[in-house]
Amino acid sequence: RNQEELSQAINEWIHFYNERRIQTKLGNQTPLQYEQNLVA
């Protein structure tokens, strides 16, 4: 793998971890679900 592929893989992991991963502290919701419920 080259540096660009590694950077892309890291960015995808960060995106998943911060936005799509279910988090117990948010009531077993993803951060996006939690934010949508706050706005609704």
What's the pLDDT tens digit per position in 12-40?
Answer: 999 999 889 999 999 999 999 999 999 98
Residue 23 β-bridge partners: 29
* Banded pLDDT at 11 (limits 50, 70, 90): very high
Which residue range is the domain that position 11 belongs to? 3-39
Number of domains in the chain: 1
pLDDT of residue 34: 95
Question: For residue 1, is pLDDT > 80?
Answer: no
DSSP run (H or E) holding 38: helix 31-39
Q: Which amino acid is at 18?
A: N
pTM comes to: 0.66
